[in-house]
Every structure is written in structure tokens, then in C-alpha cells.
């Protein structure tokens, strides 16, 4: 599932510095300190999958893996927005309930007012964006911690959700286009063609990056490395498609999630906006002195969080076939934040990747799914998920402390 593109740059060889660099940990030390992020969580995922496969032979079946991918799509989409906020060093506690509210807006407009499904979805996303802009503006205008502003949002938007749903409290979704978000599967040839296109695009991107780097005269990946990378992505894609098409096919919902992850990963790593988000998250004062419009970046990121929450809420509603008073509630918020943190995105800002939204959702989804198969009660599920989150946060804090001790904040 991990098609994480490794950074395209090779370390520039340079004469060894005469002084101790102070930060050269061995591989194992860095691994233990949680500085290898994605790799660590993939190992954790393999362990989790192995345990559940041993415990229940239905876990690693095509049917269950299709189910798992459907289960993580909605929460993963919400987590994409959460990652952006975490990179900024902020938090958004309202994403859970905003996902419910936006799904409710979409459902009411489509079902009760007869709006076109695409218009209704667009309206739901727009409400998410507007809420994000509002909360972000309050945060920067009054200098209130985002924790508090979005906590107020958590309560307030809950009220708005009840108000939008009205007396009945439940709106059932029937529109085939909306239901299709979580109910569409691409099997057979279609899936393989899509996979080939994805791998082809990835290969083109790698070659283009290499061409540009060579043109600029900076170290570029060797053809062998490019080939290995493309082969790796092709292999992962092929395995995923082979497994999923063995059952119902590749769900549209997981394609939306992967698409969002790829898009925002590109934005964070390859665009000026993303660079500014990381800069503000790393050192706000430095960003301000460098002329970055810190407030504008903040508001934009909260807008992204609201929009992605809406996106996730709509996919969740599509899967549930309804929006009700419990939509966006329960432990959705906490799991949407826990996922990226488990997968290595720091709560302290500036460090992490968008892929942690997908990987974290996979970890949490796998634990939940596996325990359901074993018929564990919710009590056990919650306690185990809590323990995993705690472990991940401790790893994050330890890594931060080690950086401090070695003179790097």
C-alpha cells in the first residue's frame, strides 16, 4: 500500500567536516528514536497483520482487505487535513464533527431539496472550507490557541449538525452517485489499466525529475535507482490490485484517499505553499522574518483541514447510506488525529508526511478490523488502540528530546 516516493535527492558528497556533526545516529538508534517515520510504521503494520493472520485466517483474505480499505477511506481523508494542521504545529479538534455536519448539509440538500448530487457534494465541501476559514481566521485574528477555537467548534458544529438534520434526525441517502462513492469498485481490466497509468505517470515523474536535476548539474538518481523505484511502485500497485480484484475490485473510495494523499504530499514537498507550511511549523518567527505571510498560511491550512474533513464525512456517509445525529461523533475525531501521529507525524509541528494519514489509518483500521474478526468487545479495541497511540506519542516525544539533547531543537 505504500507507494511513498523516496526523496529524489541524493546526499551531496562533500568533504567531511572537521568537527563532530553531533547528529549522526546509527540506523538502529534512529529507528528506535522514531526518526525513520514511515519505515517504522510499515514494520508495525507487518507485525499487526502477522498477528491477526495467525489469530484468524480470514484476516488476510481479499474480501476482508477490501472491507479494510473501505473502512479506512473516510477517516484517512479526514487525517490528510489533520496532517496539514499538525505540520503547522496546530491542532483541529473540530474535524470529526465538521465531517458529520458537511455530510448532513450534502444529504439534506440532495434528499430534501432535490439538489443535483454533484452540486450537493460541492456544497458540503464548501461548508467545510468555510468553517476552516472561519476557525483559522479566529485563531490568527485573536491569537487564541487553535486547541481552544476548534474545541468551541467541536461543540458548536455539533449543534449545527442537529439543526441541519431537523426533527427526523436521520437522512437516508439514495442517490446512486452519492452512494457510489463508497459503493463503486473497479475490477478486472479497468483496475489493471488504472494501475498501469499510475505506474506510468510515476515513471514519467521520476524521469522528468532526473532530467531537470541533470540539466541543473546537481546530483541526480542513477538510472538503476529510478528503475528500482518504478519497479517497487509497480510491484506494490500490482499486489494491491491483484488482491482487491480477487474480491469486488478496487474501491473508488480508496482511490479518492490515495489521490488526496498523493496530491497533498506533492503540495507539501514540492510547492511553495507546502514549504511555507513546514517553515511556519518549524520556526514561526523565522518564517515571519523571511517574509512569509504566516497568517495567510495558517488560515489556508485550516481551510484544507475543513475541506478534507468534509470530504471524509461525505465518503463515510456514502458508506453508511445515511447521515444521522451520530455522524462525525464518537471516536472519529480522536482516531483521525491518532492515525497520523502513530505513523510518525509530530504533534510539535514541522515534521511528518502526508502518507502518515494513509499509513496511520491502515494501522488503526487493521487493529479495529482484526479485533472485530476475533469478536473482541469495543472495550478491548479501545484500550489496545489507546495503547498504540500512547506508544507512538512516546516515541515522538523521545525523538524530540533526543534532538534537543544533541543540540537540535
Partner 1 sequence: MTATETATTTPLLELRGVSKSFGAVQALSGVDFDIHAGEVVGLVGDNGAGKSTLVKVMSGIHLPDAGHYLFEGRERKVSGPNDPYAFGVATVYQDLALCDNLDVVANLFIGREEISRGPAALIRELDEPEMEKQAGELLRTFSINIPSLRAEVGTMSGGQRQSIAIARSLVGDARVVLLDEPTAALGVAQTAQVLALVRRLREQGLGVVVISHNLADVFEVCDRIYVMRLGRKAGVYQAADSTPEEIVGAITGGRGTVRTQAAAAAAQAGDDGEEATR
Interface contacts to partner 1, rule CB under 8 A: 7-12, 14-24, 212-213, 215-218, 270-273, 275, 278-279, 281-283, 285-287, 289-292, 349-351, 403, 406-409
Shortest Å, Cβ 357 to partner 1: 18
Between CA 227 and CA 87 the distance in angstroms is 31
Q: Specify the 3-state DSSP secondary structure of 330.
A: coil
Shortest Å, Cβ 9 to partner 1: 5
For residues 253 and 287, which CB has a smaller minimum distance to partner 1 in the complex?
Answer: 287
Shortest Å, Cβ 18 to partner 1: 7
Residue 196 φ then ψ, to 5°: -65, -40
For residues 21 and 379, which CB has a smaller minimum distance to partner 1 in the complex?
Answer: 21
Shortest Å, Cβ 315 to partner 1: 25
Between CA 298 and CA 321 the distance in angstroms is 34
For residues 7 and 114, which CB has a smaller minimum distance to partner 1 in the complex?
Answer: 7
The three three-digit cell numbers of residue 208, written as one number = 522528468
Shortest Å, Cβ 314 to partner 1: 25
Contact 354, 257 (CB under 8 A): no
Shortest Å, Cβ 41 to partner 1: 19
Name 186's bridge partners: 250
Rg of the chain in Å (alpha carbons): 22
For residues 87 and 199, which CB has a smaller minimum distance to partner 1 in the complex?
Answer: 87
In the numeric block, the cell 481566521 is attached to 137
Residue 94 φ then ψ, to 5°: -95, -5
For residues 151 and 205, which CB has a smaller minimum distance to partner 1 in the complex?
Answer: 205
Identify the CA nearest to 381 among candidates 323, 344, 334, 322.
334
Between CA 290 and CA 248 the distance in angstroms is 52
For residues 187 and 282, which CB has a smaller minimum distance to partner 1 in the complex?
Answer: 282
Shortest Å, Cβ 24 to partner 1: 8
For residues 213 and 295, which CB has a smaller minimum distance to partner 1 in the complex?
Answer: 213
Between CA 185 and CA 199 the distance in angstroms is 20
Shortest Å, Cβ 393 to partner 1: 18
Identify the CA nearest to 128 among candidates 268, 311, 292, 294.
311
Q: How distant, in Å, are the alpha carbons of 3, 323, 331 from that of 102?
A: 30, 10, 18
For residues 12 and 189, which CB has a smaller minimum distance to partner 1 in the complex?
Answer: 12
Contact 112, 94 (CB under 8 A): no
Amino acid at each position: 500500500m505504500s507507494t511513498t516516493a523516496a526523496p529524489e535527492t541524493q546526499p551531496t558528497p562533500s568533504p567531511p567536516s572537521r568537527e563532530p556533526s553531533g547528529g549522526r545516529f546509527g540506523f538502529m538508534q534512529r529507528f528506535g528514536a522514531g526518526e525513520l517515520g514511515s519505515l517504522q510504521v510499515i514494520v508495525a503494520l507487518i507485525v499487526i497483520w502477522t498477528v491477526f493472520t495467525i489469530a484468524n485466517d480470514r484476516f488476510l483474505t481479499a474480501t476482508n482487505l477490501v472491507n479494510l480499505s473501505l473502512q479506512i477511506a473516510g477517516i484517512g481523508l479526514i487525517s490528510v487535513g489533520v496532517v496539514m494542521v499538525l505540520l503547522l504545529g496546530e491542532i483541529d479538534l473540530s474535524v470529526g464533527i465538521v465531517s458529520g455536519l458537511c455530510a448532513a448539509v450534502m444529504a439534506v440538500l440532495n434528499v430534501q431539496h432535490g439538489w443535483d448530487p454533484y452540486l450537493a457534494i460541492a456544497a458540503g465541501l464548501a461548508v467545510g472550507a468555510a468553517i476552516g476559514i472561519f476557525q483559522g481566521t479566529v485563531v490568527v485574528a485573536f491569537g487564541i490557541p487553535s486547541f481552544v477555537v476548534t474545541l468551541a467548534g467541536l461543540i458548536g458544529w455539533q449543534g449545527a449538525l442537529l439543526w441541519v438534520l431537523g426533527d427526523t434526525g436521520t437522512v437516508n441517502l439514495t442517490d446512486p452517485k452519492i452512494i457510489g462513492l463508497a459503493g463503486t469498485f473497479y475490477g478486472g481490466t479497468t483496475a489493471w489499466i488504472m494501475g498501469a497509468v499510475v505506474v506510468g505517470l510515476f515513471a514519467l515523474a521520476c524521469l522528468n525529475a532526473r532530467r531537470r536535476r541533470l540539466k541543473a548539474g546537481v546530483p541526480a538518481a542513477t538510472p538503476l535507482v529510478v528503475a528500482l523505484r518504478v519497479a517497487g511502485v509497480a510491484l506494490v500497485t500490482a499486489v494491491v490490485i491483484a488482491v482487491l480484484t480477487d474480491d469486488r475490485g478496487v474501491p473508488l473510495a480508496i482511490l479518492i484517499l490515495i489521490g488526496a494523499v498523493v496530491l497533498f504530499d506533492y503540495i507539501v514537498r514540492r510547492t511553495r505553499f507546502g514549504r511555507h507550511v513546514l517553515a511556519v511549523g518549524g520556526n514561526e518567527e523565522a518564517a515571519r522574518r523571511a517574509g512569509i505571510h504566516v497568517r495567510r498560511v495558517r488560515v489556508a491550512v485550516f481551510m484544507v483541514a475543513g475541506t478534507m474533513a468534509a470530504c471524509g464525512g461525505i465518503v463515510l456517509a456514502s458508506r453508511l447510506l445515511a447521515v444521522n445525529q451520530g455522524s462525525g461523533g464518537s471516536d472519529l475525531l480522536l482516531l483521525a488525529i491518532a492515525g497520523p501521529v502513530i505513523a510518525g507525524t509530530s504533534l510539535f509541528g514541522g515534521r511528518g508526511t502526508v502518507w502518515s494519514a494513509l499509513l496511520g489509518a491502515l494501522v488503526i483500521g487493521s487493529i479495529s478490523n482484526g479485533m472485530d474478526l476475533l469478536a473482541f468487545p469495543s472495550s478491548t479495541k479501545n484500550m489496545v488502540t489507546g495503547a498504540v497511540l500512547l506508544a507512538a506519542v512516546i516515541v515522538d516525544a523521545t525523538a524530540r528530546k533526543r534532538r534537543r539533547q544533541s543540540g537540535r531543537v
